[in-house]
Chains A and B, each alone.
Chain A
């Protein structure tokens, strides 16, 4: 029963932590560390919530979650004698349901993303052309501004002809450095589970904010990477020029209401950089993230 209580407390702590983190601003000073903290909060929340349900349901075996599950499955029995056993049965079923939903949502999101990427790649191979001015980049003939990366084992950076006209050569280089950072660090994989969770719980404000925060943090991480190879000011002007050019006249459902603010936040960061978080703070957060991520699996194993 202690394990169940601890796991439940851990799940609650993760939820509160996530809620606090969505409004935190120190994360902008160390985007990579913050991304890691987000990931470990997400994993721990999932494991702790399902673990708490299982631990409560399997408490009579006194063998912990993992062993309790294996005992129950090998003996294929679950005694329901007293009224509170019904509650235990409910906890067991909700545990399995939640675990199944989380795994299914993640797999579905992965499959859907891969499929979208394959179709996108196929269309690119039919339509896009190479441009001598920007080697290694695919160009789509469209007057609008667009620049993105199709992630994968062989990531492709794509820009529109409109972007070529819009940005100067320096700005173009800055933007490409940003996209290459996305491709190299596989930021799509970072964002995938958060997007999947948002699909599963579209009404949850915390999940929506979490997804938006992580999305902004990976942009900032890519900006930081690009800044090492180009002038931050050029990247900032590229962002502003690009952002202003992609404006859509009518408000669109898919459009984040904060996307303009996000661009401004990134620009301000580039022009007036705050000091990076001190190293010992960053390592502290890193250690906390690792401890958090390890704690839930340990509690699953612990006999209680």
Chain B
């Protein structure tokens, strides 16, 4: 994914394989991974002659944002999918917490 995110144009499996220079992966492995990612909706693919060209469905930042929204329970569905350290608070409440923190640290 990182490789596809770094490129501005869609790549074929062969091109991706060439860019994964540090690991000796079989071309079929790369193709399988790309195929699975596109079936799960993380990559879009378009026909180009006999090969597929892949590009990310969303930017990396969009996914990070999605994770963070879920992490802070701001998606609105109140799901039990994650257990969080603390729930997000409103601005005025944060001020109270900040004051309590200063008090506690002075003790």
Query: Digit string of A244-277 for contact with B (CB within 8 Å is 1, else 0)?
Result: 1111110111111001111110110001000000
**Are B42 and A113 in contact, with the CB atoms below 8 A?**
no
Known: A142-B68, A260-B96, A267-B100. A255 touches B87 (CB 8 A): yes
**Are A124 and B67 in contact, with the CB atoms below 8 A?**
yes
**Are A140 and B67 in contact, with the CB atoms below 8 A?**
yes
**Are A141 and B91 in contact, with the CB atoms below 8 A?**
no
- Contacts A149-B82, A158-B71 aside, 16 further interface pairs with beta carbons under 8 A come to A116-B79, A120-B67, A122-B42, A123-B67, A126-B42, A141-B64, A142-B68, A148-B84, A192-B80, A198-B78, A233-B104, A240-B100, A247-B94, A248-B74, A255-B90, A260-B97
Q: Chain A interface mostly helix, strand, loop or mixed?
A: helix
Nearest Cβ in chain A — how far from B101, in angstroms?
A: 4
**Are B104 and A179 in contact, with the CB atoms below 8 A?**
no
Nearest Cβ in chain B — how far from A266, in angstroms?
A: 8
Chain A residues with Cβ below 8 Å from B97 are 240, 243-244, 260, 263-264
Known: A127-B67, A260-B96, A260-B97. A249 touches B91 (CB 8 A): yes
Q: Write 19 A-B pairs (CB below 8 A) sorted by A numbering.
A: A116-B81, A123-B63, A123-B66, A144-B72, A146-B68, A148-B85, A158-B67, A179-B85, A182-B83, A191-B80, A219-B86, A244-B89, A244-B97, A247-B94, A248-B91, A254-B75, A260-B92, A262-B87, A263-B86
Query: Digit string of A110-151 for contact with B (CB within 8 Å is 1, else 0)?
Result: 001100110010111011000000000000111010111111
Chain B contact residue count (CB 8 A cutoff): 42
Nearest Cβ in chain A — how far from B106, in angstroms?
A: 12
**Are A175 and B85 in contact, with the CB atoms below 8 A?**
yes
Q: Which of B66, B72, B79, B88 makes the CB contact (< 8 A) with A113?
A: B79
Chain A contact residue count (CB 8 A cutoff): 66
Chain A residues with Cβ below 8 Å from B85 are 147-148, 175, 178-179, 239, 242
